[in-house]
Protein backbone atom coordinates (compact mmCIF):
# COMPACT_ATOMS: atom_id res chain seq x y z
CA UNK A 1 0.00 0.00 0.00
CA UNK A 2 2.28 2.81 1.26
CA UNK A 3 5.90 2.39 2.27
CA UNK A 4 6.71 5.81 3.72
CA UNK A 5 5.06 8.26 6.08
CA UNK A 6 5.40 10.95 3.40
CA UNK A 7 3.32 8.76 1.07
CA UNK A 8 0.65 8.38 3.75
CA UNK A 9 0.50 12.13 4.48
CA UNK A 10 0.22 12.80 0.73
CA UNK A 11 -2.63 10.26 0.61
CA UNK A 12 -4.47 12.08 3.39
CA UNK A 13 -4.14 15.39 1.51
CA UNK A 14 -5.25 13.79 -1.78
CA UNK A 15 -8.31 12.26 -0.14
CA UNK A 16 -9.32 15.55 1.52
CA UNK A 17 -8.89 17.51 -1.73
CA UNK A 18 -11.08 14.99 -3.54
CA UNK A 19 -13.65 14.90 -0.71
CA UNK A 20 -14.07 18.68 -0.84
CA UNK A 21 -14.58 18.79 -4.61
CA UNK A 22 -16.42 15.55 -5.47
CA UNK A 23 -19.86 15.04 -3.94
CA UNK A 24 -19.71 11.36 -4.97
CA UNK A 25 -16.56 10.80 -2.90
CA UNK A 26 -17.10 8.61 0.18
CA UNK A 27 -15.35 11.18 2.40
CA UNK A 28 -17.42 14.16 1.17
CA UNK A 29 -19.68 13.94 4.22
CA UNK A 30 -17.56 13.17 7.28
CA UNK A 31 -18.74 13.00 10.88
CA UNK A 32 -17.81 16.13 12.85
CA UNK A 33 -17.55 16.03 16.66
CA UNK A 34 -17.62 19.00 19.02
CA UNK A 35 -16.15 19.16 22.56
CA UNK A 36 -19.49 18.15 24.11
CA UNK A 37 -19.22 14.77 22.29
CA UNK A 38 -22.08 15.71 19.96
CA UNK A 39 -21.72 14.29 16.46
CA UNK A 40 -23.17 15.25 13.12
CA UNK A 41 -22.52 14.61 9.44
CA UNK A 42 -21.42 17.72 7.55
CA UNK A 43 -20.49 18.42 3.95
CA UNK A 44 -16.79 19.13 3.48
CA UNK A 45 -16.70 22.32 1.36
CA UNK A 46 -12.96 22.95 1.14
CA UNK A 47 -9.57 21.62 2.14
CA UNK A 48 -6.54 23.90 2.00
CA UNK A 49 -3.40 21.73 1.72
CA UNK A 50 -1.16 24.72 2.51
CA UNK A 51 -2.72 25.38 5.92
CA UNK A 52 -4.17 21.91 6.43
CA UNK A 53 -7.58 23.39 7.18
CA UNK A 54 -11.08 22.15 6.45
CA UNK A 55 -14.10 24.34 5.78
CA UNK A 56 -17.72 23.46 6.47
CA UNK A 57 -20.85 25.62 6.23
CA UNK A 58 -23.11 26.00 9.26
CA UNK A 59 -25.87 28.11 10.74
CA UNK A 60 -24.65 30.81 13.10
CA UNK A 61 -27.65 30.04 15.35
CA UNK A 62 -26.72 26.35 15.75
CA UNK A 63 -25.61 25.29 19.24
CA UNK A 64 -22.27 24.08 17.81
CA UNK A 65 -21.52 27.61 16.55
CA UNK A 66 -21.50 29.10 20.04
CA UNK A 67 -19.84 26.02 21.53
CA UNK A 68 -16.93 26.15 19.08
CA UNK A 69 -16.79 29.93 18.88
CA UNK A 70 -13.34 31.33 18.18
CA UNK A 71 -11.36 28.26 19.14
CA UNK A 72 -12.35 24.85 20.37
CA UNK A 73 -11.25 21.25 19.74
CA UNK A 74 -13.07 19.56 16.85
CA UNK A 75 -12.81 15.98 15.62
CA UNK A 76 -13.53 14.79 12.08
CA UNK A 77 -14.04 11.16 11.04
CA UNK A 78 -14.14 10.10 7.38
CA UNK A 79 -14.28 6.60 5.95
CA UNK A 80 -13.95 5.22 2.44
CA UNK A 81 -15.52 1.77 2.53
CA UNK A 82 -14.43 0.88 -1.00
CA UNK A 83 -10.77 1.66 -0.35
CA UNK A 84 -10.92 0.62 3.32
CA UNK A 85 -9.29 3.81 4.60
CA UNK A 86 -10.36 5.66 7.72
CA UNK A 87 -9.21 9.18 8.62
CA UNK A 88 -9.51 10.45 12.18
CA UNK A 89 -8.60 14.12 12.27
CA UNK A 90 -8.34 16.53 15.18
CA UNK A 91 -7.91 20.24 15.13
CA UNK A 92 -8.87 23.65 16.38
CA UNK A 93 -12.26 24.84 15.16
CA UNK A 94 -13.40 28.40 14.63
CA UNK A 95 -16.81 29.64 13.54
CA UNK A 96 -17.06 32.89 11.60
CA UNK A 97 -20.11 34.64 10.20
CA UNK A 98 -18.40 37.73 8.78
CA UNK A 99 -15.40 38.50 6.63
CA UNK A 100 -14.19 37.98 3.07
CA UNK A 101 -13.89 34.19 3.35
CA UNK A 102 -17.45 33.90 4.68
CA UNK A 103 -18.73 36.23 1.96
CA UNK A 104 -16.97 34.16 -0.71
CA UNK A 105 -18.42 30.92 0.70
CA UNK A 106 -21.92 32.43 0.69
CA UNK A 107 -21.53 33.65 -2.88
CA UNK A 108 -20.24 30.28 -4.09
CA UNK A 109 -23.31 28.46 -2.73
CA UNK A 110 -26.40 27.88 -4.82
CA UNK A 111 -29.59 29.74 -4.00
CA UNK A 112 -31.23 26.40 -3.24
CA UNK A 113 -28.54 25.67 -0.62
CA UNK A 114 -28.65 29.21 0.81
CA UNK A 115 -32.40 28.97 1.41
CA UNK A 116 -31.66 26.75 4.46
CA UNK A 117 -30.59 29.90 6.31
CA UNK A 118 -34.01 31.54 5.85
CA UNK A 119 -35.77 29.15 8.21
CA UNK A 120 -35.98 28.65 11.92
CA UNK A 121 -32.72 28.15 13.76
CA UNK A 122 -31.42 24.60 14.23
CA UNK A 123 -33.07 22.81 17.15
CA UNK A 124 -36.23 24.93 17.16
CA UNK A 125 -39.06 22.81 18.59
CA UNK A 126 -42.00 22.32 16.19
CA UNK A 127 -45.46 20.77 16.69
CA UNK A 128 -44.72 18.10 14.06
CA UNK A 129 -42.27 17.15 11.30
CA UNK A 130 -40.98 20.37 9.72
CA UNK A 131 -38.06 21.66 7.67
CA UNK A 132 -38.23 25.00 9.45
CA UNK A 133 -38.28 26.78 6.09
CA UNK A 134 -40.83 29.48 5.37
CA UNK A 135 -43.74 27.83 3.51
CA UNK A 136 -43.06 29.79 0.31
CA UNK A 137 -39.60 28.19 0.01
CA UNK A 138 -40.54 24.54 0.57
CA UNK A 139 -39.12 22.90 -2.57
CA UNK A 140 -38.64 26.30 -4.21
CA UNK A 141 -35.40 28.09 -5.06
CA UNK A 142 -35.52 31.72 -3.88
CA UNK A 143 -33.97 34.55 -5.86
CA UNK A 144 -31.00 36.62 -4.64
CA UNK A 145 -33.18 39.33 -3.10
CA UNK A 146 -35.29 36.82 -1.17
CA UNK A 147 -32.11 35.36 0.33
CA UNK A 148 -30.89 38.61 1.90
CA UNK A 149 -32.53 37.86 5.31
CA UNK A 150 -30.73 34.49 5.44
CA UNK A 151 -27.19 35.86 5.09
CA UNK A 152 -26.76 36.84 8.80
CA UNK A 153 -27.51 33.20 9.72
CA UNK A 154 -24.78 31.77 7.50
CA UNK A 155 -21.37 30.92 8.95
CA UNK A 156 -18.36 28.78 8.21
CA UNK A 157 -16.63 26.30 10.46
CA UNK A 158 -12.88 26.19 9.83
CA UNK A 159 -10.88 23.37 11.36
CA UNK A 160 -7.11 23.80 11.42
CA UNK A 161 -5.84 20.24 11.60
CA UNK A 162 -3.33 19.41 14.34
CA UNK A 163 -3.46 15.58 14.35
CA UNK A 164 -3.97 12.99 11.60
CA UNK A 165 -4.67 9.31 12.11
CA UNK A 166 -4.67 7.22 8.89
CA UNK A 167 -5.92 3.65 9.14
CA UNK A 168 -5.94 1.09 6.31
CA UNK A 169 -7.98 -2.06 6.86
CA UNK A 170 -6.55 -5.14 5.15
CA UNK A 171 -7.20 -8.85 5.59
CA UNK A 172 -3.42 -9.36 5.54
CA UNK A 173 -3.03 -6.98 8.48
CA UNK A 174 -4.21 -3.45 9.16
CA UNK A 175 -1.77 -0.54 8.82
CA UNK A 176 -1.87 2.72 10.78
CA UNK A 177 0.07 5.98 10.73
CA UNK A 178 -0.27 9.02 12.97
CA UNK A 179 0.91 12.60 12.55
CA UNK A 180 1.13 15.60 14.87
CA UNK A 181 1.56 19.16 13.61
CA UNK A 182 4.73 20.90 14.78
CA UNK A 183 5.06 24.44 13.47
CA UNK A 184 4.63 24.28 9.71
CA UNK A 185 5.53 20.59 9.48
CA UNK A 186 4.29 17.21 10.57
CA UNK A 187 5.92 14.59 12.78
CA UNK A 188 4.74 11.13 11.78
CA UNK A 189 5.01 7.62 13.19
CA UNK A 190 3.75 4.18 12.34
CA UNK A 191 1.44 2.74 15.00
CA UNK A 192 -0.19 -0.60 15.66
CA UNK A 193 -3.88 -0.63 14.69
- Taking 70 as the threshold, does the pLDDT of residue 26 lie above it? yes
User: pLDDT at position 40, please?
Assistant: 96
Q: What average pLDDT score do residues 73-99 get? A: 97
- Taking 90 as the threshold, does the pLDDT of residue 192 lie above it? yes
Distance CA 92, CA 120 (A): 28
Beta bridge partners of 166: 87, 177
Q: What average pLDDT score do residues 90-107 get? A: 98
Q: What average pLDDT score do residues 132-148 get? A: 94
Distance CA 134, CA 190 (A): 52
User: pLDDT at position 184, please?
Assistant: 87
Q: What average pLDDT score do residues 135-142 get? A: 93
- Cα–chain center distance at 176: 22
* DSSP per residue, the chain: ---SHHHHHHHHHHHHHHHHH-TTSGGGS-EEE-TTS-EEE----EEETTTTEEEEEEETTSHHHHHHTTSEEEEEEEEETTTTEEEEEEEEEEEESSSHHHHHHHHHS-HHHHGGGGSPPTT---SSS---S-GGGTT-PPPHHHHGGGGGGEEEEEEEEEEEEEEE--TT--EEEEEEEETTEEEEEEE--
Contact, 188 vs 8, CB < 8 A? yes
User: Residue 1 — very low, low, confident or very high, per pLDDT cuts 50/70/90?
Assistant: low
User: Residue 2 — very low, low, confident or very high, per pLDDT cuts 50/70/90?
Assistant: confident
Q: What is the pTM of this model?
A: 0.94
Distance CA 164, CA 86 (A): 10
Q: What average pLDDT score do residues 133-143 get? A: 93
Q: What average pLDDT score do residues 16-24 get? A: 97
Q: Report the chain's mean pLDDT, rounded to a whole number.
A: 96
User: Which residue segments constitute the domains of the chain, with CATH numbers given?
Assistant: 5-191 (2.30.110.10)
- Taking 90 as the threshold, does the pLDDT of residue 33 lie above it? yes
Which pLDDT tens digit goes with each residue over 38-85?
Answer: 999 999 999 999 999 999 999 999 999 999 999 999 999 999 999 999
Share of the chain above pLDDT 70, in %: 99
- Cα–chain center distance at 151: 20
Count of C-beta atoms within a 10 Å radius of residue 171: 6
Q: What average pLDDT score do residues 100-105 get? A: 98
Amino acid sequence: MFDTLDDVRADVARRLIQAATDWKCAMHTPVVATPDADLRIMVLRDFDPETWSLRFHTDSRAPKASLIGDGSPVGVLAYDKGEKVQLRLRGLGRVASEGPEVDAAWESSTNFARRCYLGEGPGTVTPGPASGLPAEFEGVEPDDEQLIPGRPNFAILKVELRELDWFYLAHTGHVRAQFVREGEGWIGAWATP
